[in-house]
Amino acid sequence: MKVSELSTRSGVPISSIKYYLREGLLQSGVRTATNQADYGEPHVRRLRLIRSMTEIGELSLARVRATLAAVDDDTVTMHETFGAVMHGLDDGLDPHGADPDLTAAHDEVTAWLTERHWHFDPVAPAHHRLAELITTMRRFGFPVSLTDFDAAADHAESAARGEVAYARAKEDRAAAVETMIVGTVVIERVLLEIRRLSLESASFDLENAEATPPPTSHPTD
């Protein structure tokens, strides 16, 4: 297919396709003339993957490049490839420094994850971010403990196994990574919107319960 059809099939503008070609993010097509080349299904899949990373995952081009390198390297395990995706979804924080509250929360998060027997990369951003969020909640007066989130963690663990198994069953590494990106980001947003809707509903119920006068009691004769 020509580059115009590739653009239509992938939903990526021609200008972006040419940029990805120059940057080496997209492999060259088969040259048919001085200024023309033919492209195939692998190019469509690669562009879909790049699009999912940049538009859905909101990864920087540097992160996209690193993830694509992992996808293309068959010596990199699927777990390491998924790790490149997960790490790219959050810049993370450095928990060590002059903030003793954050350092303490980080230690609590590490102990909690260890107790749950969850494997995690010490340099991965997610558990640093969790420590920051716990610290923030406490500073606003929420007396939270990591064990308060045990039920949510149990549910997340069960769902994650199914999601990862589904992604790993895809026909190739690129499709598996795309599934992980789309699934991770979209499902997180679905859960966030459900929580917001539940909060609105709970607020409405409580306010109307307070506004409703109790039933009048009648003394017995």
* Res 138: pLDDT: 95
Residues 46 and 30: their CA atoms lie apart, in Å, by 16
- Per-residue tokens: 9: 């099939």
What does pTM read for this prediction?
0.73
Q: What is the pLDDT of residues 77-109, one digit of tens each?
A: 998 888 888 887 776 555 455 689 999 999 999
- What per-residue string of b and e applies to 41-73 under the rule 16 or more CB within 10 Å gives b? eebbbbbbbbbbbbebbebeeebbebbbebbee
Cα distance between residue 35 and residue 30, in whole Å: 11
Q: What is the mean pLDDT of residues 171-199?
A: 88
Distance, in Å, from the CA atom of 205 to the CA atom of 211, rounded to the nearest integer, reads 10
Pull the structure tokens for residue 100.
């003793």
What confidence score (pLDDT) does residue 142 get? Answer: 95
pLDDT at position 97, please?
58
Residue 19 has pLDDT above 90, yes or no: yes
Q: At what angle do helices 14-23 and 3-10 cross, to 10 degrees?
A: 100
Query: For residues 90 and 129, what is the distance between their CA atoms, to the nearest angstrom?
Result: 8
Identify whether the C-beta of residue 49 lies closer than 8 Å to the C-beta of residue 178. yes
- Greatest CA span in the chain, whole angstroms? 104
Is residue 5 very low, low, confident or very high in pLDDT (cuts 50, 70, 90)?
A: very high
* Residue 24 Cα distances to 20, 51, 55, 88, angstroms: 6, 15, 19, 19
Counted residue by residue, the chain has a size of 221
**Three-state secondary structure string covering the chain:** CCHHHHHHHHCCCHHHHHHHHHHCCCCCCEEEECCEEECCHHHHHHHHHHHHHHHHCCCCHHHHHHHHHHHHCCCCCHHHHHHHHHHHCCCCCCCCCCCHHHHHHHHHHHHHHHHCCCCCCCCCHHHHHHHHHHHHHHHCCCCCCHHHHHHHHHHHHHHHHHHHHHHHCCCCHHHHHHHHHHHHHHHHHHHHHHHHHHHHHHHHHHHHHHHCCCCCCCCCC
pLDDT at 150: 96
- pLDDT band at 60; cut points 50, 70, 90: confident
Q: Are 49 and 40 in contact (CB under 8 A)?
A: no
135 falls in which pLDDT band (50, 70, 90)? very high
